[in-house]
C-alpha cells in the first residue's frame, strides 16, 4: 500500500475512535459500556444444556421474563427472595402519632364513662344512708346490684371496643407494611418476600405455649443477612426503631 494511502487509513481510524469515545461519554455510551459483556463472559446464547443422569434428557436453562428458567411452568423459575422482620416494623408503625391518638381517645372515653358510674354510686350512698352497723335497706341493695350489673356490661363493652380498635389498627398497619414491601421489592426487583423473626431475638415469654409460638414465628433457621430488607422497608415508611 502506498504511504499516502496508509496515512489516510490511519487518519480515518483515528477519527472513528474519537467519535466512539465521545459517544461512550454520553448516557447512551455509558449504558453500552455497562451492558457490554466482559471478556470472560460466555454467550450470548438462547439456552444452556446441562447433562443430568445417564439416560435422562439434558436440563435446558434459559432466560424467561428476566429470570433463569428450567422449564415452561411459571414455578420453574429462579425467583429473587428476601425477608422482613414484620414484628419490628409493625411495632414501629403502631407507635405512630395517629395510632396513639386513637388509643388515647378510647382510654379517655373509658375514664369519663367510669367516672360517671362512680358518681352514680356516690349518689346512691347519699340517697340511702346506712346507720352505723346497720345493713342497708333492701331498695339500696337492689339499686347497687343493678348498678353493678350495668357496670359489668359496660366493662365487657369496653373490652370489645378495645379489641376492635386493636384489630383495626393491626390491619391498617399491615396494609402500610405491605405497601412499603411492594415499593422496595419493585425497586430492588425482588419476587418473593417472607416474614420472619431473627433467630437471635430473645423470646421474652413466660409460658410454654408462648415459647412454641416464638419458635414457629422464626421462619428461617439459617439465612444470609443480605436477604433481610427490613431497614429498607423501615426507610420507605420513614420509621425509626
Are 84 and 228 a contacting pair, CB within 8 Å? Answer: yes
Longest dimension (CA), the chain: 136
Q: State residue 160's pLDDT score.
A: 96
Burial (Cβ within 10 Å: 0-12, 13-18, ≥19) of residue 45: exposed
CB atoms < 10 A from the CB of 183, how many? 14
Task: Please list the pLDDT of the chain residue by residue as tens digits (241 residues).
Answer: 444 444 333 334 443 433 444 444 444 444 445 566 677 888 788 898 988 888 888 888 999 888 899 988 888 999 999 999 999 999 999 999 999 999 999 999 999 999 999 999 999 888 888 777 777 788 888 999 999 999 999 999 999 999 999 999 999 999 999 999 999 999 999 999 999 999 999 998 899 999 999 999 899 999 999 999 999 999 999 998 7
DSSP single-letter state for residue 73: S
Q: State residue 37's pLDDT score.
A: 67
Q: What angle do CA 205, 88, 229 make, to 5 degrees?
A: 135
* Cis peptide bond N-terminal to 18, omega within 30: no
Amino acid at each position: 500500500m502506498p504511504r499516502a494511502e496508509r496515512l489516510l487509513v490511519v487518519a480515518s481510524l483515528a477519527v472513528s475512535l474519537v467519535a466512539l469515545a465521545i459517544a461512550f461519554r454520553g448516557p447512551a455510551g455509558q449504558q453500552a459500556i455497562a451492558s457490554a459483556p466482559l471478556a470472560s463472559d460466555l454467550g450470548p446464547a438462547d439456552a444452556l444444556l446441562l447433562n443430568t443422569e445417564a439416560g435422562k434428557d439434558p436440563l435446558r436453562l434459559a432466560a424467561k421474563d428476566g429470570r433463569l428458567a428450567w422449564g415452561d411452568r411459571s414455578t420453574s423459575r429462579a425467583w429473587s427472595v428476601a425477608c422482613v422482620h414484620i414484628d419490628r416494623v409493625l411495632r414501629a408503625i403502631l407507635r405512630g402519632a395517629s395510632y396513639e391518638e386513637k388509643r388515647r381517645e378510647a382510654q379517655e372515653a373509658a375514664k369519663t364513662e367510669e367516672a360517671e358510674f362512680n358518681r352514680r354510686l356516690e349518689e346512691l350512698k347519699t340517697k340511702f344512708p346506712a346507720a352505723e352497723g346497720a345493713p342497708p335497706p333492701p331498695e339500696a341493695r337492689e339499686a347497687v346490684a343493678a348498678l353493678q350489673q350495668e357496670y359489668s356490661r359496660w366493662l365487657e363493652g369496653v373490652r370489645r371496643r378495645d379489641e376492635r380498635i386493636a384489630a383495626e389498627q393491626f390491619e391498617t398497619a399491615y396494609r402500610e407494611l405491605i405497601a412499603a414491601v411492594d415499593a422496595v421489592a419493585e425497586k430492588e426487583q425482588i419476587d418473593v418476600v417472607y416474614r420472619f423473626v431473627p433467630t437471635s431475638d430473645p423470646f421474652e415469654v413466660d409460658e410454654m405455649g408462648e415459647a412454641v409460638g416464638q419458635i414457629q414465628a422464626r421462619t428461617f433457621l439459617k439465612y444470609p443477612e443480605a436477604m433481610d430488607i427490613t431497614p429498607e422497608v423501615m426507610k420507605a415508611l420513614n420509621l425509626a426503631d
